[in-house]
Amino acid sequence: MTKVVADISVSLDGFVTGPEPGPAQGLGRGGEALHTWALRPDAIDRAVLEESVAATGVVIMGRRLFDQIDAPDGWNDEMGYGADLAAEPPVLVVTRNPPEKVRLADRMTFVVDGIASAVAKGIAVAEDRDVVIMGGGETVRTAIEAGLVDELRLHLSPVLLGGGVPLFDRAAPRALRQIHVRSSGHATHLTYRVD
């Protein structure tokens, strides 16, 4: 059965990017440290990454994250979803305004009618695999608050960024149920059931 999973790396102080993120600066100042676990994995990180990629049927992201991924220094044949595994599941981009030109057009579909529509479309094509909402922070937060997420997977990176895009800025209060924890040298991988 298809699960909707919000999966994102976050700093100890709650940011999913460093300060000043964008297509020219990627994850912002210091933000690359959030993905050390995926880019220079140890055995535990590699297992987490491989399991997640194998279970993913569709990826959903917001427009700001798409702009970074589609930038000249973004995803390519060697580096993409799943870091160096460079998996190519279908990607749905939630945006009100699709770009006129897309470098990775063969992988991307733009959804202009909101996150709920993107999740419904993802479930329809995921073939009993996971629909993974990989970010950014606002997209993950919006999906959780809309009641669309079954599991939240956080990759807690041992870094304090001091600013950037917060994951849970003004989030509605809610209790989550922790169902899995794995620690590596680069991150603590946390999985929560979103009730």
Average confidence (pLDDT) over 141-149: 95
Strands 188-194 and 176-183, how do they pair?
antiparallel
* Angle separating helix axes 137-145 and 115-125, nearest 10 degrees: 90
Please indicate, yes or no, if residue 134 is contained in any of the structural domains: no
Please indicate, yes or no, if residue 150 is contained in any of the structural domains: yes
Please indicate, yes or no, if residue 73 is contained in any of the structural domains: yes
Q: What is the mean pLDDT of the chain?
A: 92
CATH number, domain at 22?
3.40.430.10
Please indicate, yes or no, if residue 195 is contained in any of the structural domains: no
What pLDDT, on a 0 to 100 scale, did the predictor assign at position 32?
A: 92
> Is residue 21 very low, low, confident or very high in pLDDT (cuts 50, 70, 90)?
confident
Average confidence (pLDDT) over 120-124: 97
Please indicate, yes or no, if residue 135 is contained in any of the structural domains: no
pTM of the model as a whole: 0.93
Please indicate, yes or no, if residue 146 is contained in any of the structural domains: yes
With a CB cutoff of 8 Å and minimum separation 6, the contacts of 5 are: 130, 131, 132, 133, 149, 150, 151, 152, 153
d(C-alpha 52, C-alpha 29), whole Å? 27
Q: How many independent structural domains does the chain possess?
A: 1
> Is residue 53 very low, low, confident or very high in pLDDT (cuts 50, 70, 90)?
very high
Per-residue pLDDT tens for 104-117?
Answer: 777 899 999 999 99
Boundaries of domain holding 148 = 4-126+140-186
Please indicate, yes or no, if residue 79 is contained in any of the structural domains: yes
d(C-alpha 38, C-alpha 96), whole Å? 30
Please indicate, yes or no, if residue 151 is contained in any of the structural domains: yes
